[in-house]
Structure 1
Amino acid sequence: MGIRQASADDLASVGISVLRGALATNILWIGSLKFKQYEVENDEPLVVPSPLFSRLRKKLGAQKLNRLIGVTEITLGSLIAAKPLAPRASAIGSFGAIGMFLTTLSFLATTPEARQQGQGRLSLSQLGQFLLKDTVLLGAALLTAAESLGAARPAGNP
């Protein structure tokens, strides 16, 4: 293995570690905010028009729904961060995050406020731009899932 390959491998290793830490931190931090009233109010434009979440909101109420989302996010972030101790659990957390980000990206289609009024279908509002960043987080969750599965594989088992 040459110097170039070792450097590329080292950089990839550092990159995945930074990515995992950032993904876990983002999910944990956002999950902890779900217990604040202002976050319940901020989520209303997303939850109310969503076919899935509007039903849950009616059943649980806005505050309990946000708390459920917060507990879920804190759990997923903790699992993702647990990779050095529990790579399989970390993979489960990453797969859960993949589902979560696919769900939040669906809000681009169900939330009228995600588009800038009168500017065409592809003109995102500030809320839409906020949601679009979840494509990057989705990619991070896919990479951390793959890396965790690789670490969970028994030695000598490709």
Structure 2
Amino acid sequence: MGTRQASADDLASVGFSALRCALATNIVWIGVLKFKQYEVENDEPLVTSSPLFSRLRAKLGAQRLNRLIGVTEIALGSLIAAKPLAPRASAIGSFGAIGMFLTTLSFLATTPEARQEGQGPLSLSQLGQFLLKDTVLISAALLTAAESLRAARPADCPRTL
């Protein structure tokens, strides 16, 4: 293997590790914040506009719903971080994060405050721009899922493309 290839492989390895660490940290940190009252208030426009979450909010109340979301986020972030010890569990965490981010992106369609009033449907407000970053996080979760699945594969299993 040439020096350039080794350097590219090393860089990719460092990049995957940094991506996994950043993704897990972001998800856990945001999950912890769900236990703060200001975060309950910040999430109100999102959950009250969502067909799914508005029903959950009506049943659980705003604070309990946020805590449930927080516990879910902490669990998913922890699973993603667990790749060295439990690669299959880490893949499950990554797939769960993909579902979570897809759900969050649905708020772009259901939350009127996500768009800048009077500027057309593609003009996102600050809230809409915040939600849009989840497209990048979905991509990160897809990569961490793939890397975890590779690590979970038995050594004698042939690699296919």
- TM-score of the two chains, using structure 2 as the length reference: 0.97
Q: Distance in 1 between matches of 2:105 and 2:2?
A: 42
* Partner amino acid, structure 2, of 1:112: P
SS in 1 for 2:49: coil
- Counterpart in the other structure of 1:19: 19
SS in 2 for 1:48: helix
Q: For 1:1-158, what aligned pairs fall within 5 Å after superposition?
A: 1-157=1-157, 158=159
Aligned-CA RMSD value:
0.4
Q: Distance in 2 between matches of 1:54 and 1:129?
A: 22
Q: Which runs of 4+ in 1 moved over 4 A?
A: none
* Partner amino acid, structure 2, of 1:146: A
* Partner amino acid, structure 1, of 2:36: K
Q: Distance in 2 between matches of 1:4 and 1:112?
A: 50
Question: What CA deviation, in whole Å up to 9, does each residue of 1:85-142 have, x standing for no partner?
Answer: 0000000000000000000000000000000000011000000000000111100000
Equivalent residues, number: 158
Q: CA shift at 1:156, angstroms?
A: 2.2
Could you list the runs of 5+ residues in structure 1 that have no partner in the other structure?
Answer: none
Q: Distance in 2 between matches of 1:31 and 1:58?
A: 21
Q: CA shift at 1:15, angstroms?
A: 0.3
Q: Distance in 2 between matches of 1:121 and 1:89?
A: 39
- TM-score of the two chains, using structure 1 as the length reference: 0.99
Q: Distance in 2 between matches of 1:13 and 1:23?
A: 15
